[in-house]
Chains A and B, each alone.
Chain A
Amino acid sequence: MSKIHITTSVNGDPTEFLCEADETLLDALRDRLGMTGAKEGCGTGDCGACSVTVDGRLVCSCLMLGAEAEGREIGTIEGMAEGDQLHPLQRKFIEHAALQCGICTPGLLVAAKSLLEKHPDPTEEEARYWLAGNLCRCTGYDKIIRAVMDAAQEMREAS
């Protein structure tokens, strides 16, 4: 079976890769492009560790085919900081100790960024429901929610 040639954009960089027809976007990112920031926790869209954005929309990259990236704009955790400037969410996750093992962190950050782009002033409950698709087993979510709410406030004040 011949591979499919895909032309896409990842974090703003023009990107090409070859993938199998049944290969997920997650596998293409990790195995073809060496971008291992997105993680596979379940492969069934239940844990959110593989969260990326596609044309600005939050998706589980394990539920999308690599071939579907053709002509789209993919955003991953690797593109979240600007140079050495961490995104406020990234900074707040460190400041609030919102990670223990850190495996869910890339997915949570991508999902939280997506939340704050749509809802800059979420209630705690809105944040909890938005992030309900991102499993964390270490923290009990307390410090994650605090970090997201604090980042939201800082970003609102800065804008």
Chain B
Amino acid sequence: MALDDKQQYQTRQFKVVGTRVKRPDGVDKVTGKARFGADMSAPGMLIAHVLRSPHAHARIKSIDTSAAEALPGVHGVVTRADFSEITDDDFTADILDNCMAGDKALYDGHAVAAVAANSVAVAKRALKLIKVDYEVLPHVTDVDAAMEDGAPVLHDGRANETVPEGMSPNVLARYEFGHGDIEAGLAKADRVIERTYKTEATHQGYIEPHACLASMGPDGQADLWCCTQGHYMVRNTCAAIMGMEQGQLRVTASEIGGGFGGKTTVFLEPVALALSRKTSRPVKMVMSRSEVLRATGPTASSSIDVRIGMTKDGQITAAFAELRYQGGAYPGSPVEFGSMSAFAPYDLENVKTVGWDVVTNRPKQAAYRAPGAPMAAYAVESAIDELAKGFGLDPLAVRLKNAAREGTKASYGPTFPAIGLEATLRAAKDHPHWAAPLGENQGRGVACGFWFNFGGDTCVTLNITPDGTVTVSEGNPDIGGSRASMSMMAAEELGIPYEQVRTIVADTGSLGQNEVTDGSRVTFAVGLATIESARAAKREMCKRAAMVWGIEEDAVKWEDGAAHPAGENAGKHPPMTLKEIAAVASNTGGPIAGHHEANPEGAGVSFATHMVDTEVDPETGAVKILRYTVFQDAGKAVHPDYVEGQFQGGAVQGIGWALNEEYIYGDDGILQNAGFLDYRIPVASDLPMIDTVILEIPNPGHPYGVRGVGETSIVPPLAAVANSVSEAAGVRLTQLPMSPPKVLSALHSK
């Protein structure tokens, strides 16, 4: 067989990839038909609500549910006693403890019991009848305070072997990366600056609250519908918590109303399953917005020390950062990623980062778009900017001078292959935005950002239907247009029109294991598996055509959606189109499908440079975003609209993080702003258009050169906005968010 599989990304002329086709779920989503997590019901369904701790830290001495259980309409109540303890897997045990508190409530909003009833009103009434006897304990919510001697302790004995003796038991892990000699490098600098930066926790802020519908029968089989970034993860986690075999639990992913990392774990699902098991009825659970903010996973807050040395011509001689992240009440803050990514954009001889994973009485953090990287980039890029401006140097030129490139040994270990950072910096330098004039109280900031990107377990099946249309089954919830992208890559590879392909997100019974939609992995990994599935189907279709023609299989090639006789047989038979081959499939060996299963390496790291103009109101301290441009390497933009959308969305989430968004805890450890009025995400009137420049430096690890694009876009904006505001205000701010009171106070301190 002479399949043209060797077509390389460098020379390939794309027909479908790179166009702006309409998404297959578009009509359903503009007409209200699309079914999200809370849009599903089942006959005989009960509604469940959760009782949550009103204390930041408390021992649960007893829970009396008898009065709630006696209330007419209540069918079941669960507490931690309804779950088997998990003793052999700390990771899953922590997830269970976060879904339903054990001995202690560890944060304001921690679930302590749940009621399933025949109506919302009864469920809410029943919650009030549950008596919990709490012994309130001292609490801590600040990362630096939690590391101090004598800080209230959440867990004893959870620190791993990396943590030195004598530290607070709230410090659970230490990470270190880097190479070279920091002190020797700093000695060569003309100036060394040392700064401390702090960022507050922010929430992913997806507009759809968590929701699920669980149904478990007395035979032990269960079905679960939920909004998630990974229904295979939901299956595996819930099965472990419920003591079920994974094959007995089928999970179907609803349409997902945003996730940004926050839906890469479970909160409600095991509780709904436990209630369904107890009541033998379907159980639906939907969170309120306040529950989402209090009890799902925001990102970490951080406190970061940076020490960087630079020569007066802009060469960084050494760079050091110590990062302290609190990830809520359980281990696993993204400080490891922060420590790895902090200096990744730069080619440094002497570099070191140290990261500390710290627990506090806050909700268990969940991934948030490039988890851990934005805060690290904020600190590093702020310091580099201050050094560059101090020497009167062009901040883009300084970054170009130190930029990582192909062959650079990254601060976190590997040596970079072809990467796009320089391309983004040069594009920024050449863009009219860089030369545009600025007015009074206005400033311009730039910053770079990096993200690793990821592959992960992936399964795709591509079926040729009898009439020659193509269906692609993949296992990753479509969070921003990925069904369109998969259909495009399948159409490209098969040489057929986009409209001839339909991609669906299959349930957990239909495919093997699939990693969650995270790590910017879907267009890369699921795309790769889709292309390989199409190639497998093409090989089979060439075989069928060879059978029809009575020639050897390897004397057939696939071109433009049809099998062609090749070599000495060329021209001897008319080509057979995909439709013609499909029509005779039954007589040539049966149905035709291609599938591919892999855990692909080679995701291809990603870089971006952001540029932003702001204006500071000297009377109020309010910051207005005047102009914003994103420059990012996409490898190959499969659907440019959705690539731009990822750039724009990440930039605006970063603007919110920089200017407005923060978790505000009172001295009592209670979250004070658990609603969208007080936890203010950017609205349309806060923003200008977000300009985008897509760079395409192909990723050698993907057949079409694709790199993930979803996460990198949130890495630079915190620093880019901070650098812009610092220029506009004439004073450097070192804490986020730069809300009006903080900016005003900085202006007054000048």
Contacts and interface: CB of A to CB of B under 8 A. Distances in A.
B676 A102 contact: no
A37 B649 contact: no
Interface in B672-694: 675-677, 681-687, 689-690
B29 A145 contact: no
A35 B39 CA distance: 9
B42 interface: no
B31 A140 contact: no
Nearest to B39: A36
**Interface SS, A side:** loop
Interface string B623-652: 000000000000000010110110011011
B69 to A, nearest CB: 22
Interface in B250-266: 255-260
Contacts of A129: 684-685
Nearest to B255: A102
Contact of B675 (A44, A94, A105, A137): A44
Contacts of B684: 127-129, 131-132, 134, 136, 141, 144-145
Contacts of B209: 40-41
Contacts of A77: 31-32
Interface in A41-73: 41-44, 46-47, 49
Contacts of B255: 101-103
B31 A80 contact: yes
B690 A142 contact: yes
B195 interface: no
Contacts of A141: 652, 682-684, 687
A39 B29 contact: no
B676 A39 contact: no
A131 B683 CA distance: 8
Nearest to A106: B32
A137 B205 contact: yes
A145 to B, nearest CB: 7
B747 interface: no
B6 interface: no
Interface string A61-97: 0000000000000001110110000100010011111
From A27, A106, A127, A133, name the one whose CB has the most chain B CB atoms within 10 angstroms: A106
Given A128-B684, A131-B684, A141-B652, A93 B32 contact: no
B481 A137 contact: no
B31 A90 contact: yes
A46 B649 contact: no
B27 interface: yes
A91 B31 CA distance: 10
Contacts of A44: 289, 675-677
Contacts of B479: 100-101
B505 to A, nearest CB: 13
A20 interface: yes
**Interface SS, B side:** loop
Nearest to B675: A44
A25 interface: no
A152 interface: no
Interface residues of B, number: 58
Contact of A103 (B25, B258, B683): B258
Nearest to A90: B30
Interface string B690-718: 10000000000000000000000000000
A140 B30 contact: no
A37 B31 contact: yes
B207 A37 contact: no
A94 B676 contact: no
A10 interface: no
A97 B681 contact: no
B675 A100 contact: no
B31 A137 contact: no
A145 B689 CA distance: 8
Contact of B289 (A41, A90, A142, A146): A41
A99 B29 contact: yes
A28 interface: no
B689 to A, nearest CB: 5
Given A97-B641, A102-B255, A105-B30, A36 B685 contact: no
B33 interface: yes
Contacts of B36: 36, 39, 103
A93 B648 contact: no
From B29, B260, B681, name the one whose CB has the most chain A CB atoms within 10 angstroms: B29
B20 A97 contact: yes
Contacts of A4: none
Interface in A101-148: 101-106, 109, 125, 127-129, 131-146
A37 B33 contact: yes
Contacts of A76: 32
Given A43-B289, A100-B642, A101-B208, A140 B652 contact: yes
B685 A101 contact: no
Nearest to A145: B684
From B204, B209, B649, name the one whose CB has the most chain A CB atoms within 10 angstroms: B649
B23 A132 contact: no
Contacts of A139: 645, 648-649, 652
B22 A94 contact: yes
A93 B22 CA distance: 10
Given A93-B30, A105-B29, A137 B649 contact: yes
A130 to B, nearest CB: 8
A127 to B, nearest CB: 8
Contacts of B652: 139-141
Given A46-B676, A47-B207, A90-B30, 20 more contacts: A22-B121, A35-B32, A39-B207, A39-B208, A39-B257, A94-B23, A100-B481, A101-B208, A103-B36, A129-B685, A135-B207, A135-B683, A136-B207, A137-B258, A138-B645, A140-B648, A141-B687, A143-B648, A145-B684, A146-B689
Interface of B: 20, 22-23, 25-27, 29-36, 38-39, 120-121, 204-209, 255-260, 286, 288-289, 479-481, 639, 641-642, 644-645, 648-649, 651-653, 675-677, 681-687, 689-690
Interface of A: 20, 22, 27, 30, 35-44, 46-47, 49, 76-78, 80-81, 86, 90, 93-97, 99-106, 109, 125, 127-129, 131-146
14 contacts: A20-B121, A39-B38, A39-B257, A41-B257, A86-B30, A96-B641, A100-B480, A101-B257, A105-B30, A136-B684, A137-B681, A139-B648, A141-B687, A143-B648
